[in-house]
Amino acid sequence: MSTPTLEAPPASLSLRNVGKTYRIDGQDLPVLQRIGLDITRGEFIGIVGASGCGKSTLLRLIAGLDHRFDGEILIEGHPVAGPGVERSLVFQDHRLFPWLSVTDNIALGLDSLALGRHERQARIQEQLELVGLTGFAQAYPHQLSGGMAQRAAIARALVSRPDILLMDEPFGALDSITRAHMQEELLRIWRERRVTVVIVTHDVDEAVFLGDRVAVMEPRPGRLQSVIGVDLPRPRLRTDAAFNQVKQRVLAQLKR
């Protein structure tokens, strides 16, 4: 039996003293150091920081794609041990398979779940509706615009009904108008699915527009410099003085 979408509680995520060191040519390269952050169920967190400060590395650790790290990453109090269906990762490039239709690409997100044919179809249909791609179910990636392809990638990430959605600069390749539209769409999906979201972005404006809090990282090695609460009601207006005040606070932290 399937669980109704709105009853599935999103998960909490705790980073405790997380560190990561890569070894390159026999040299240790510390990339992440003492990252500590408690993210509550259903929270929307933005992570900003200079290129190379370890944002993608951190998301990979949370996704369970790399188990060699220090400290602890806990989901609902349980340490992550590898990838799991309760977490999904969306990348900057859509990473759809060009030889598969939108439907078949989304279906890949169900591969690790034992579902009957009807349940699979229902889930895919639900996702197509959620991201507004019902008319493109049988289209191939090359027939989609950049924004549509990214929506298909988000649908593939959500079809398994994860509690935690991890996004690594998901809108980085989009033009500014499509990007603003996708941000609104993401907020709608977040509200409807009540998922916990961690989004990495280069764009301070995007982080402040979306996040309940914005975590600012500093580089070499990557550390959490500060976490700034965005205490602004949604929908947020970019032209608001209060919005710009928060933005300036984040920018000031980044420049330090």
Ligand X SMILES: Nc1ncnc2c1ncn2[C@@H]1O[C@H](COP(=O)(O)OP(=O)(O)OP(=O)(O)O)[C@@H](O)[C@H]1O
Residues that bind Mg ion (CB under 5 A): 56
Q: State the helix-helix crossing angle for 146-158 and 117-130, rounded to 10 degrees.
A: 140
Residue 125 Cβ vs ligand X, minimum distance, rounded to whole Å:
34
Q: Residue 124 or 200: which CB sits closer to Mg ion? A: 200
Asked if 41 contacts 67 with a C-beta cutoff of 8 angstroms, the reply is no
Q: Which is nearer to ligand X, 54 or 141 (CB)?
A: 54
Q: Compare residues 84 and 172 and give the one whose CB is closer to Mg ion.
A: 172
Specify whether the backbone of 119 is left (phi greater than 0), alpha (psi in -120 to 50) or beta.
Answer: alpha
What would the DSSP string read from start to end of 50-100?
Answer: -TTSSHHHHHHHHHTS----EEEEEETTEE--S--TTEEEE-SS----TTS
For the window 46-65, what string marks contact with ligand X as x by the rule CB under 6 A? ---x-xxxxxxx--------
Residues within window 13-42 making contact with ligand X, judged by CB under 6 A: 22, 24, 29, 31
Stretch that binds ligand X, among 5-13, 45-53, 73-81, 240-248 (CB under 6 A): 45-53
**Residue 177 binds what, of ligand X, Mg ion, none (CB under 5 to 8 Å, by partner type)?**
none
Query: How near is the Cβ of 53 to ligand X at its closest, in Å?
Result: 4
Nearer to ligand X, 63 or 107 (CB): 63
- Smallest gap, in angstroms, from Cβ of residue 214 to ligand X? 15
Tell me the number of residues near ligand X by CB under 6 A: 12
By CB under 6 A, is residue 132 in contact with ligand X? no
Contact by Cβ (8 Å): 211, 250: no
Residues of the shown chain interacting with ligand X in the complex, contacts defined by CB under 6 A = 22, 24, 29, 31, 49, 51-57
